[in-house]
Amino acid sequence: MFIKVEGNQFIKNNIPYHFIGTNFWYGAHLGAKKSGNRARLLKELDTLKNNGITNLRIMAGSEGPDNLPYNVPISMQPELGVYNEDVLEGLDFLLSEMHKRDMHAAICLSNFWYWSGGLSQYLSWVTGEVIPYPNDTNDWEKYMRFTAQFYTNNEAVKAYNNHVESIIKRVNTITQRSYFEDTTIMSWELANEPYAIQNKAAYLKWIENSSQIIKQLAPNQLVTIGGEGNTPFPWFTNNNSLSDYKFESLDYITIHIWIQNWEWYNPKKHSNTYNKALKKAKNYINEHLAIANTLNKPLVLEEFGISRDNLDYNKESTVNHRNQYFKDIFNILLENAETKTNFVGCNFWAWGGFGKVNTPGAVSNNHLEFIGDPAHEPQGWYSIFETDSVTLQIIRDYNAKLDTLNNSYL
């Protein structure tokens, strides 16, 4: 059965569906027969399943030539409208194996950020302009204003729409099911963290049109934006969840919380910054809970995390502070689930699993070793590995509590 929305709740098999999942954005790339590692993918999925982690946020879009700096090394769409079938079949394999394990996917169709190509690559393809990578220029505002031009460029939007249609209508080469018929797929996300910036009206029109297109193509699957919410910088991002998620073609609201990136929390000054940061995180959730309540839609916190202790990037370093943060966030979710508020699930960032950190702290493709940290970010920053046994025990325990709560409605 498809996961559906009834009022402010997700429903699976006729009972409320609450979850603690993860971001596993590189799953399709691992699943590629030629360029991936299917044996590792199966091991990752089994480990996730054994820890109760069955809701995976994955990417179904990576654009641009292979081996670009800071990008996914093997692209799904290396040229405009030209696809790497090996990566597409990797997505087929991933979904088919997830189905065997009763897992569900929130599939992100594009990205505001350049680490998977995304909206900036579509814009570059149709205009011929060079993408101003902030890793080179150290000018994030320039990149963001460049990418926000996407919403006003009809040719770029058309290229995006073509990709959306090709993915949703794709027939899985393993199961022979069209993607829009696959109950493994919980939802489609327009893009990862799209910002309006200087083009708010065009941004809203893009949200409305794109979500309606997806709803027409996949009427039994859910649709959302994939955004951060009302970030601490609304005067620049120009996002507002109340206006952005008002459309009937959007089924639920997403938020991301980055207490470290937003400079609320300093891992080298944990005792001085953590409690204040946690309070701000709680306020951020409550702010969006109020919006979700107004719109009568479920709310999912689909990205959150902090670094390893003392900003250490090595896989063997401790994660005591992360463990506390996860427990605090999971407690908030559990309390809301028990009272059936709109806050129904979360996906931590991000699963590193059995991957190796070959370039700890360095911005690189990590020698093609996929982990949770994309190539444009320091490797080993936010990844949760299978060796983080205490973290996994915490996740397992809270997922068991949520499962017990879900099953109590039988």
Chain centroid to CA 156: how far? 22
pLDDT tens-digit readout, 9-49: 999 999 999 999 999 999 999 999 999 999 999 999 999 99
pLDDT at 217 over 90: yes
Question: Tokens at residue 146, please?
Answer: 């460049």
What mean pLDDT do residues 50-59 have?
98
* Whole-number Å distance between alpha carbons of 195 and 60: 20
* Whole-number Å distance between alpha carbons of 120 and 137: 15
Domain boundaries, the chain: 4-407
pLDDT of residue 67: 84
* Whole-number Å distance between alpha carbons of 320 and 325: 9
Task: Please report which confidence band the pLDDT of residue 204 belongs to, taking 50, 70 and 90 as the band edges.
Answer: very high
Task: Please report which confidence band the pLDDT of residue 365 belongs to, taking 50, 70 and 90 as the band edges.
Answer: confident
What residue type is 206 in one-letter code? W
pLDDT of residue 165: 98
Tell me the CA distances in angstroms from 395 to 23, 132, 245, 358, 384, one per residue in order.
14, 39, 29, 26, 11
pLDDT tens-digit readout, 231-285: 999 989 999 999 999 999 999 999 999 999 999 999 999 999 999 999 999 999 9
Dihedral of the alpha carbons of 334, 337, 343, 347, in degrees to the nearest 10: 50
Q: Which residues contact 66 (CB under 8 A, 6 or more apart)?
A: 73, 74, 75, 78
Of 321 and 365, more confident: 321
Residue for token digits 């670094």? 307
What mean pLDDT do residues 73-81 have?
96
pLDDT of residue 332: 98
Give percent of the chain with pLDDT exceeding 70.
100
Chain centroid to CA 308: how far? 20
pLDDT tens-digit readout, 178-198: 999 999 999 999 999 999 999
* Whole-number Å distance between alpha carbons of 353 and 132: 32
pLDDT of residue 97: 98
pLDDT of residue 68: 87
Question: Tokens at residue 377, please?
Answer: 């970010």
CB 348 within 8 A of CB 20: yes
Strand partners, 15: 12
pLDDT of residue 290: 98
pLDDT of residue 273: 98
Q: pTM of the entire structure?
A: 0.98
Task: Please report which confidence band the pLDDT of residue 367 belongs to, taking 50, 70 and 90 as the band edges.
Answer: confident
CATH class (in words) of the domain with range 4-407: alpha beta
pLDDT at 5 over 90: yes
* Whole-number Å distance between alpha carbons of 96 and 409: 29
pLDDT at 410 over 90: no
Question: Tokens at residue 44, please?
Answer: 């990752």
pLDDT tens-digit readout, 79-91: 999 999 999 999 9
pLDDT of residue 245: 98
Task: Please report which confidence band the pLDDT of residue 391 belongs to, taking 50, 70 and 90 as the band edges.
Answer: very high
Question: What's the mean per-residue pLDDT of the chain?
Answer: 97
- For residue 26, the number of C-alpha atoms closer than 13 Å in the C-beta half-sphere is 30
* Whole-number Å distance between alpha carbons of 168 and 182: 10
pLDDT of residue 409: 87
* Whole-number Å distance between alpha carbons of 143 and 135: 10
DSSP assignments along 2-49, one per residue: --EEETTEEEETTEE--EEEEE-TTHHHHH-TTTS-HHHHHHHHHHHH
Task: Please report which confidence band the pLDDT of residue 323 belongs to, taking 50, 70 and 90 as the band edges.
Answer: very high
Q: Where do runs of H (alpha helix) occur along 218-348?
A: 234-237, 241-244, 270-295, 320-338
What residue type is 205 in one-letter code? K
